[in-house]
Amino acid sequence: MQAGKPVLYSYFRSSCSWRVRIALALKGIDFEMVPVNLIKDGGQQFSKDFQALNPMKQVPTLKIDGITIHQSLAIIEYLEETRPTPRLLPQDPKKRASVRMISDLIASGIQPLQNLSILKKVGEVSKDLREETKLTWAQNAITSGFNALEQILQSTAGKYCVGDEVTMADLCLVPQVANAERFKVDFTPYPTISCINKRLLALEAFQLSHPCQQPDTPTELRA
């Protein structure tokens, strides 16, 4: 390990960044935050300086131990391997597979279909009904994934997504639920998702990392 505080490049509303902020909070890792506004100036992630840091021009990006890591799940897995307490992946291989399955379902099967860049493209295609079309697109992407996720969680969940310990799957769930709420998804068909989310939001790490509590959170969205 190299000395020095980790540096997280993050955007307050980015669900991928939120996953990493939760992991850092749970593991008690002190870090510096560098906000990257995904909207201001056409998106600060497209600057030459940031592209040199992350060629995908995305957040989160974490500088730690002398390396730079992109992609939220890769970052969380690295933190788990180098700072394993408290653990975010169960010791039991079957439960660990369930955690990774749920994490990938959200991180690969739901969130990318309703993220900022995709919705921008959807809006460009449907200029006459831009906002309505983007809302419908996001709702369809999320409900399709949540229909599967609700069914899976009914067989894996205890207090949380997999059993009674907070895992990487929970770090993915809460930010995605927040996205769903922002896009006005009806949660009536998803009682398991809703119940787990409520329990997780009561935990300090999820509160400290919440988008309404970040250095770059606009004043009107602070809580």
Count CB-CB contacts under 10 A for residue 203. Answer: 17
Confidence band for 165, pLDDT divided at 50, 70 and 90: very high
Distances (CA, A) of 166 to 55, 62, 136, 177, 191: 32, 22, 32, 16, 19
Third-level CATH fold of 7-86: Glutaredoxin (3.40.30)
Q: Which residues contact 162 (CB under 8 A, 6 or more apart)?
A: 90, 95, 98, 99, 102, 156, 169
Which residues lie closer than 8 Å to 73 by C-beta, 6 or more apart?
A: 19, 103, 104, 107, 168, 172
Angle, vertex CA 182, rays to CA 181 and CA 185, nearest 5? 45
Q: Looking at residue 108, what is its pLDDT?
A: 96
User: Model confidence over 25-77: pLDDT tens digits?
Assistant: 999 999 999 999 999 989 999 999 999 999 999 999 999 999 999 999 999 99
**pLDDT confidence of residue 119:** 83
Report the C-alpha gap between 45 and 24 in whole angstroms. 22
Sign of CA dihedral 202, 207, 211, 217: positive
What would the CATH number be for the domain defined by 93-206? 1.20.1050.10
Q: What is the mean pLDDT of residues 179-193?
A: 97
Domain boundaries, the chain: 7-86, 93-206
Once rounded to an integer, what is the mean pLDDT over residues 66-94? 98
* Phi and psi, residue 104, nearest 5°: -70, -35
Half-sphere exposure of 99 (CA within 13 A, CB side): 25
Q: What is the pLDDT of residue 117?
A: 78
Length of the chain: 223
Residue ranges of E strands in 56-106: 61-64, 67-70
181-192: average pLDDT: 97
